[in-house]
Structure 1
Amino acid sequence: MTIAPPDAETRRAIAPVICYPNDSLPQPDLGLYTQGLAGAELVETVIAAPRDACSFRVAAGQFFRIVSVDGPQVGDLNLWNAADLSERFYSGKTRALHGTHVTTGERLWSAFPHLRPMATIVDDTLDWYGIDAFGGSVHDVIGTRCDPYTGNLLSGTQYHHCCHSNLTRALADATGLPLREAEAHVHDVLNVFMCTGFTRDTGQYFMKASPVRPGDSLTFFAEIDLLGALSACPGGDCSSEHSSDTAVCHPLKVEILTPAAGALGDWQQPARNGYDRSHGR
């Protein structure tokens, strides 16, 4: 290891600067959304079976809720513009704007060149968890998704029910796309209910048993027309592993809810990002 320079501690002591101060972000009207949710009617229920995925569609102005039903279970969520798969959830920019984990009042942002809110979290029954002594929290936008390629790289396996493959099958079934074409649209996820962080000594991504219990839920307001896919991770509560058939797994439920007529007042969908896309030319 390189010998530390004499001013090493001075360099380390430099205060950090937030990369993207979010004080100027457009703020959701949580009061309006909460009011709409209070009188919303359940119109559809979809189940993601253990070690598998489901797809669902949500119209702009509706709500969707992900619910733990039978036992502790984490899920991997992908979102697309229902009319344009190129506009999809951008976990990296969501992380840059809100932090490593998201909760009530924070939003899932779409990819370039759109960069607008796709969904807003309006209720989180695990918001009490906060950040634990290990640096762990729930609902992360730091993990990519368990996938067969990394499994093959590290262990030589051919495992087909990891979240990447589950989401690929779900999108193919929802759109009629061939598997290989659908796979190109599968992207980094929101890890719903998953408890994760980075180790303080090595900076490695870790997971630990999720605090989620039956009845816990995460509820979103759809800012645009959405196609979603949710995988019930083969790791169950991710207390030990995430790509095998040995962990105890449970289903996840997705509920679609429609607010009463007029409950959202004059709410309008967010516009696409206003950058002119000239890129200096």
Structure 2
Amino acid sequence: MATESAYRATKGGALDVDRAFYGRLAAAHGEHELVESFEVPIRSGRAWPVPRGHLCRLVTLDGPQVGDLNVWNLHDPRERLWAARTRQLQRAHVSTFDRLWSTLPFLRPLVTITADSLAGYGVDAEGGRVHDLLGTRCDPYVNRMLTGEDFDFHCHSNLVRAVLPYGLTEFDVHDVLNVFQCTGLNADDQYFMKACPARPGDHLEFFAELDLLCALSTCPGGDLSVPLWGPEARDPVKVCRPLGVEVYRPRPELLAGWRPPERAAYRSVHGLRAPRWDER
């Protein structure tokens, strides 16, 4: 019998998602207005805004390809995806009706996932699952440590370049959602990555709960079918493919009753007390 989750939803509480609302948005996909569409080339990154109340769909255009996603509050980038808390509140691999939560002191859903064409993948024979929050972005610092070589097109670097036009820097890049990535923990509790199971046209779609800035890197490991480190490592450029991004505006009536989430209700007192003017 499975052990119960530590963080459990109560009816009407913060973790109780209105599945009927998000299900209607997903079912009406063909009726939404496409407001932006672009391609992220291999081994590159791009950032783009998603207005609140809009939907964003990430698509594997030509076949399997892993993407590393960052998300910020467009108006205050101090509020951004909190991967660790999302793993606890939702799960380590996310899918339809899961949410991506923001950092303290905000602690609210940034997005809610509305559609996932890989939802049926489930758990494979090795314990692999898709859309990973277990690991984080590949980066040139670890690569240099492991190989002694510099490479400037890891996901961390791709995201750094992507956010510069929005006034953000390397310090704003954070732990990611690895979209379309298949991962798990082996018998020794070590992180493993498997070849991406996506096919052309697979997608992950989410609803923007706030005005967002998103950034996506097309991982230089491509579909992760080629080892990146260790004795069998080789350049995986031949298994790298672009990813597509689409932003949609739903009909206003589909958003009836929805409102952006409020930031956390806790007053941020932390047991501190301001001294009185007459106290010595």
C-alpha displacement of 1:245: 4.5
TM-score by length of 2: 0.89
Residue 79 to residue 41, structure 1, CA distance change in 2 (3 Å): same
Secondary structure of the structure 1 residue equivalent to 2:143: helix
Secondary structure of the structure 1 residue equivalent to 2:241: coil
Q: Which residue among 249, 268, 271 is the counterpart of 1:277? A: 268
- Structure 1 portions without partners, runs of 5+: 1-14
Secondary structure of the structure 1 residue equivalent to 2:138: coil
Aligned ranges 1:86-101 → 2 under 5 Å: 86-101=78-93
Aligned ranges 1:23-34 → 2 under 5 Å: 23=10, 24-34=13-23
Secondary structure of the structure 2 residue equivalent to 1:31: helix
2:52 and 2:260 in contact (8 A); partners too: yes
Q: Which residue among 25, 30, 33 is the counterpart of 1:36? A: 25
TM-score by length of 1: 0.89
Residue 106 to residue 64, structure 1, CA distance change in 2 (3 Å): same
- Aligned amino acid, residue 177 of structure 2: L
C-alpha displacement of 1:86: 0.3
- Aligned amino acid, residue 150 of structure 1: V
Secondary structure of the structure 2 residue equivalent to 1:54: strand
Percent of aligned pairs sharing the same letter: 49
Q: Which residue among 204, 218, 241 is the counterpart of 2:204? A: 218
Tell me whether 1:162 sits opposite 2:151 in the alignment.
no
- Aligned amino acid, residue 208 of structure 1: K
Secondary structure of the structure 2 residue equivalent to 1:131: coil
> Per-residue CA shift, 1:227-275, capped at 9, x if unaligned?
0000010111112235874332000011000001222112100000111
1:48 and 1:252 in contact (8 A); partners too: yes
1:234 and 1:245 in contact (8 A); partners too: no
1:164 and 1:186 in contact (8 A); partners too: yes
2:228 and 2:236 in contact (8 A); partners too: no
C-alpha displacement of 1:48: 1.2
> Per-residue CA shift, 1:86-142, capped at 9, x if unaligned?
000000000011121000010000011101000000010000011112111000101
2:63 and 2:201 in contact (8 A); partners too: no
In 1, distance between residues paired with 2:65 and 2:25?
28
Secondary structure of the structure 1 residue equivalent to 2:269: coil
Tell me whether 1:188 sits opposite 2:175 in the alignment.
yes
Tell me whether 1:229 sits opposite 2:229 in the alignment.
no
1:59 and 1:222 in contact (8 A); partners too: yes
Secondary structure of the structure 2 residue equivalent to 1:50: coil
In 2, distance between residues paired with 1:130 and 1:199?
17
Secondary structure of the structure 1 residue equivalent to 2:252: coil
- Structure 2 portions without partners, runs of 5+: 273-280
Secondary structure of the structure 2 residue equivalent to 1:128: helix
- Aligned amino acid, residue 227 of structure 2: E
Q: Which residue among 223, 236, 249 is the counterpart of 1:246? A: 236
Residue 68 to residue 26, structure 1, CA distance change in 2 (3 Å): same
What corresponds to 1:11 in structure 2? Answer: none
C-alpha displacement of 1:157: 1.4
Secondary structure of the structure 2 residue equivalent to 1:184: helix
Aligned ranges 1:132-211 → 2 under 5 Å: 132-173=124-165, 175-177=166-168, 182-200=169-187, 202-211=188-197
1:81 and 1:225 in contact (8 A); partners too: yes
- Judge which range, 69-78 or 25-34, deviates more: 25-34
Residue 122 to residue 168, structure 1, CA distance change in 2 (3 Å): same
What corresponds to 2:277 in structure 1? Answer: none
Superposition RMSD on alpha carbons, in Å?
A: 1.6
Residue 241 to residue 204, structure 1, CA distance change in 2 (3 Å): same
Aligned ranges 1:98-113 → 2 under 5 Å: 98-113=90-105
Residue 19 to residue 26, structure 1, CA distance change in 2 (3 Å): closer
In 2, distance between residues paired with 1:190 and 1:229?
11
